[in-house]
Chain A
Amino acid sequence: MSDGNPDVMDVLAGLSDGSPVADLRRQRPDVVKHLQGSDDAIFAPAHHGGFTRPEREAAALRVATLLRDGALEEHYRRRMVALGETHPLTGARGEVIMAHIDCVTMAPDSASQADLDRLLAAGMTPHAVVSLSQLIAYVNFQSRVLAGLRMLQDAR
């Protein structure tokens, strides 16, 4: 929060400034900094590589839904709508991306080379494929960090 922008994890976990769990997080300043930095790099990159910002929010919304994380779903739905889009992942390309999100989130050990070939055949660049992979994996990370923060908050 050093730059005055709200920290995404504090907001999602409902941690107010100076609350015990928010202070606990500040004992790991590198983690706080680069977690927010990862969020920024994944959702507001300087170069999106062909995987657009609305598509990114929609993909994250799908991961949050699969993980049954209501606060995270609301977060991504709001950001997607704020970008002026309600269904950015449609058509053949959208379907391939959605199927990949389901596979990587729910059964990562079932992925195969064919899954990446389908993404490339749907017109995604290698940059976009890696960005999609990072995004899916990041939201899986994020939901687990949130679960731990909520647990610590509720167990006080």
Chain B
Amino acid sequence: MKRPMRDFTHGELQWQPWITPVDLDTATPEQLTALKVTPSNRAVGAYSLVLAHDPEALSERSPLYNGIMFGAKGLPRADRELGAVAASRINGCAYCASVHALRFTQLSKQPEVMERIQADGVDAALEPRLKAIVDYSAKLTRDPAAITAADAAPLRAQGLSDMDILDLTHAVAMFAWANRLMQTLGESAAPATAGNPL
């Protein structure tokens, strides 16, 4: 039973958990540490509160995610976001695709790229460098066992260094992880506020 994918938009979505989140008032010290909750910062979303059921995994995953998506130098952040969007489209994660499409557009100032991907998915016609990034991201998402040495060539031909390619690989792989948590521990839901395209 496959759910139809919601409209692909640039709007932020809400997320509803399918399992009771950790209650901050009864959370263990280890859970609070993993959530980085302090007396002055109790703004933690439902998604993080669900993941806090396993504080050990959450404590490592958060800095890993930040290192991959925000680490200095290397592949431009917009390109990492593009890899995240391609993975999220293929995995059917509307929430992730929406959030990271917005980040790509903010970073790249190229709104037409996400408009094209919104219309035509990962097969959208794009300039060659972006196309090479999306093609690799799509193949790595769909079937990592199919990746061979030859898949590095189109990326190198567009000027990506091996460091850039490693950064892209990390970003796409991180969304094989994030999409699965987001889609199987709860679901994105339209917010109640009027005016949202969903």
State whether A31 and B170 are in contact (beta carbons under 8 Å apart), knowing that A111-B183, A138-B177 are contacts in the complex. Answer: yes
**How far, in Å, is B161 (CB) from chain A's closest CB?**
9
Give the residue of A104, A138, A155 whose beta carbon is less than 8 angstroms from that of B149: A155
**How far, in Å, is B187 (CB) from chain A's closest CB?**
8
Contact, CB under 8 Å: A27 / B147: no
Contact, CB under 8 Å: B54 / A49: yes
- Of B36-44, B63-71, B102-110, B118-126, the one contacting chain A is B63-71
State whether A134 and B57 are in contact (beta carbons under 8 Å apart), knowing that A108-B92, A144-B172 are contacts in the complex. Answer: yes
**Cβ contacts under 8 Å, B141 to chain A:** 144
Say yes or no for B53: interface residue by CB 8 A criterion: yes
User: In chain B, residues 51-79, which have Cβ atoms closer than 8 Å to a Cβ of chain A?
Assistant: 51, 53-54, 56-57, 59-61, 63-64, 66-68, 71, 74
Give the residue of B50, B93, B147, B185 whose beta carbon is less than 8 angstroms from that of A148: B147
In the complex, A68 Cα to B169 Cα: how many Å? Answer: 18
User: In chain B, residues 147-168, which have Cβ atoms closer than 8 Å to a Cβ of chain A?
Assistant: 147-153, 162-163, 165-168
Contact bitstring A133-145, B, C-beta under 8 A = 1, else 0: 1101110111111
B90 nearest in chain A by CB position: A109
Say yes or no for B1: interface residue by CB 8 A criterion: yes
In the complex, A129 Cα to B57 Cα: how many Å? Answer: 12
Contact, CB under 8 Å: A129 / B53: yes
Chain A, interface size: which category?
35 or more
Contact, CB under 8 Å: B169 / A31: no
Contact, CB under 8 Å: B145 / A104: no
Give the residue of A30, A34, A152 whose beta carbon is less than 8 angstroms from that of B166: A152
Contact, CB under 8 Å: A109 / B92: yes
**Cβ contacts under 8 Å, A126 to chain B:** 19-20, 53
Say yes or no for B35: interface residue by CB 8 A criterion: no
In the complex, A107 Cα to B93 Cα: how many Å? Answer: 11
Chain A residues within CB distance 8 Å of chain B: 20-21, 24-25, 27-28, 30-31, 33-35, 37-38, 40-42, 45-47, 49, 67-69, 103-105, 107-113, 115-117, 120, 126-127, 129-131, 133-134, 136-138, 140-152, 154-155
A sample of 25 cross-chain residue pairs with beta-carbon separation below 8 angstroms, ordered by A number, consists of A28-B71, A30-B71, A31-B68, A31-B170, A34-B61, A34-B67, A38-B61, A38-B64, A67-B144, A109-B93, A110-B3, A127-B53, A129-B19, A130-B57, A133-B181, A133-B185, A140-B177, A142-B173, A143-B145, A144-B172, A144-B173, A148-B147, A149-B169, A151-B149, A151-B169
Chain B residues within CB distance 8 Å of chain A: 1-3, 5, 18-20, 50-51, 53-54, 56-57, 59-61, 63-64, 66-68, 71, 74, 91-93, 140-141, 144-145, 147-153, 162-163, 165-170, 172-174, 176-181, 183-185
